[in-house]
Structure 1
Amino acid sequence: MPRVFEHQGWRFFFYSNEGDPREPAHVHVLKEGREAKFWLYPEVAPAYNHGLSARELRLVSQVVLERRRDIEEAWHAHFG
C-alpha cells in the first residue's frame, strides 16, 4: 500500500492492485479502522465511506482537494 502522506493521523494511500483495468486516479484514507475512498476528478468526491462522521468526511475532503495535485503526481509515479 503506497503511502502518499499523513495528515492529523489520517493515512492517505493507494492499494497496489487498483483494479484491472485500473480505476481512475483516486486515494484511500484510513484512520483507526475508518476508511473512505475519494475520486480526484472531475471533482473531489467520496466513492465510499466506512465509518467517517460528516465532520471527518468534510475535513478529509478538504485535504484531498488541497493536495489533489500531489496525490495525482504520486499516483502516476507509482502506477506509471
Structure 2
Amino acid sequence: MPELLRLFGLRFFFYSNDHRPPHVHVRSNDGEARFSINPVNCLENNGLKKQDLYLAEAIVETNKDEFLRKWSEFFKS
C-alpha cells in the first residue's frame, strides 16, 4: 500500500493492486474516501466527516501532479 502523504490526520495512498483510472484513497480515524486525481472528484465516501472530505479534496487538488507522477512511476504507466 504505497503511501503518498500524511497530513492533518489524513493518510493518502493507493493500493498496490489498484486499477485505472488514477485515483487516491484517503483514510482518517473515521473512515475512507476515494478521489479521482484528474479531474479531482470524490468517487466514494465511507465515513469521512464532511470537513475532512473538503480538506482531502483540497489536498488532492494541491498535490495532483505529484500523485499522478507517483501513480505512473509505481504502475509503470
**Fold shared, TM-score > 0.5 on shorter chain:** yes
Distance in 1 (alpha carbons) for counterparts of 2:49 and 2:29: 13
Which residue is 1:68 aligned to?
64
- Point out where structure 2 has 5 or more consecutive residues left out of the alignment: none
1:32 aligns with 2:50: no
TM-score by length of 2: 0.91
TM-score by length of 1: 0.88
* 1:1-80 mapped onto 2 (5 Å cutoff): 1-18=1-18, 22-41=19-38, 43-80=39-76
| Paired residues of 2:32 and 2:48 also in contact (CA < 8 A) | yes
**C-alpha RMSD over aligned residues:** 1.0
After the TM superposition, which segments of 4 or more aligned residues of structure 1 sit over 6 Å from their partners?
Answer: none
Aligned residues: 76
- Over residues 34-80 of structure 1, what are the superposed CA-to-partner deviations in whole Å (9 max), with x where a residue is unaligned? 10000012x21011001112211111100000000111111011111
Deviation at residue 5 of structure 1 after TM alignment? 1.1
